[in-house]
Amino acid sequence: MTICNHFFSYKVSLRWASGSLGFVVLLLIFPVFSIAQNYDETKVPEYVLPDMMKMTNRKQVRNIGDWEKIRRPQILRLFEDNIYGQFPKSMDSLRFTVTENKSSMEGKSVLRKVLIQVSHHGKTIGINLTLFIPVKAALPVPVFVLINNRGAENTDPTRDKKSDFWPAEMLIDSGYAIAAFQVSDLAPDNKETFSNGVLKLYTEQLSMDNGMRAIGAWAWGASRVMDYFERDADIDSKKVTVVGHSRGGKASLWAAAQDQRFAMCITNCSGNTGAALARRRFGERIERINTSFPHWFTNNYKKFNNNEDSLPVDQHMLIAMIAPRPVYATNASKDLWADPTGTFLSLKNAEKVYDLYQAKSTLPANPPVKNYPIIRSVMGYHNREGEHNMTAYDWMNFIRFANFHYQKKKGYGNN
Ligand code: GTR
């Protein structure tokens, strides 16, 4: 295995400091070493993915029973302990309050705002859910829920502001309910303040090297929203699709892996520690993500900085844990930071587990060309022309994918 050391770059920061005694000037030079990210496919090192079909007793996974009873729990544990942290299972109380319920979008939908309150160890946090339910659709209706890592204006309940990042009208017109909550309700996306949310309820996690951090908290929040959907008679809780973009897409995968009540997962441009294979070391790498966002993953994850080969898992195993449920991953052609090829290869390498369930993947052997969505497959994929973002084009294909799986509708696209 070759670690490419020719990508070393030196960032030299010069800092001038002046003393108080007149004209003494000190030149301080801090050499800061960082590994530049690789964007050259020919420089992807050789790598061997961990064998997800081999149990810790070295025996091969032969059937669904081996997978579900033995191997899947082993892998889930590895992800918890090394990457995303624990998923707290107990809470003292959970309360749902509908704070608003009214006609919206000129009568096409009902806006329902819900406050979800979780209490534990004498502390309470609130998750504010915005939900639109189509009026014309037969109830209960399938729903998409976005783990929103961008500004709340993207999910404006008044619809004064509209955003392609969460095109609520498009979903309503297609017969789906659409919901969203802010990640900051669970854990502020800030290395100083991230514990000022759900981690106030589970402070023990903070002293654990395998404890939950921000991305785990966001995924955990999606599960509390799922708890609410199970109690809303208008929502088909067996058809809940969890959606996330980028850092939110890392959380949507972890939510779907942890909580098998989610029927489908969408991970949009999620890249490193999302849908992309870490061992390819293409675009963003573990050392970089841990340095820029030390509050996202466990302390243990730092051990894998510049040491991808020693990780006991890779991201194809995260996708495999979602099997046999459908997963749709996207990239954008100019978003090499998130490694479009590595994302596609993660899906491909998860196929063996989908095969156990005879859940059919029709992904081609190599990544499809730009703007060629693979819809009629248990794992879907597209690489949209353009920048790192979530757009109306992406959502249009999420809807096609959901139509295919939820309604088995014919005639959706040519693939
Ligand atoms: C980047 C980060 C990515 C991705 C992205 C985003 O700065 O390196 O892993 O999560 O932010 O969330 O938009």
Is 102 within a domain?
A: yes
Residues 62-91 have pLDDT tens digits of 999 999 999 999 999 999 999 999 999 999
CATH number of the domain that 351 lies in? Answer: 3.40.50.1820
The preferred substitution site among 293, 331, 387 for testing ligand 1, maximizing ligand atoms within 8 Å of CB, is: 293
Residues facing residue 110 across a β-bridge = 103, 133
Is 117 within a domain?
A: yes
Is 347 within a domain?
A: yes
Q: Looking at ligand 1, which atom is closest to the CA of residue 284?
A: 8
Q: What is the pLDDT of residue 407?
A: 85
The preferred substitution site among 284, 285, 336, 387 for testing ligand 1, maximizing ligand atoms within 8 Å of CB, is: 284
Is 385 within a domain?
A: yes
For the chain, which residues score pLDDT lower than 70?
1-35, 408-415
Q: Looking at ligand 1, which atom is closest to the CA of residue 289?
A: 8
The preferred substitution site among 337, 343, 391, 394 for testing ligand 1, maximizing ligand atoms within 8 Å of CB, is: 337
Q: Looking at ligand 1, which atom is closest to the CA of residue 274?
A: 9
What's the domain count of the chain?
A: 1
Residues annotated as catalytic are: 246, 388
Q: What is the pLDDT of residue 36?
A: 79
Residues facing residue 179 across a β-bridge = 131, 145
**How many Å lie between the centroid of ligand 1 and the Cα of residue 292?**
9
Question: Distances in Å between the alpha carbon of 406 and those of 141, 274, 285?
Answer: 11, 25, 36
Is 31 within a domain?
A: no
Give the pTM.
0.92
Nearest-CA residue for atom 6 of ligand 1: 246
Q: What is the pLDDT of residue 13?
A: 30
CA–CA separation, 415 and 396 (whole Å): 15
Average pLDDT of the chain is: 92
Is 415 within a domain?
A: no
What is the domain extent for residue 321?
A: 49-406
Show the ligand 1 pocket: residues with CB < 6 angstroms. Answer: 149, 246-247, 271-272, 284, 289, 292
Is 261 within a domain?
A: yes
Is 386 within a domain?
A: yes
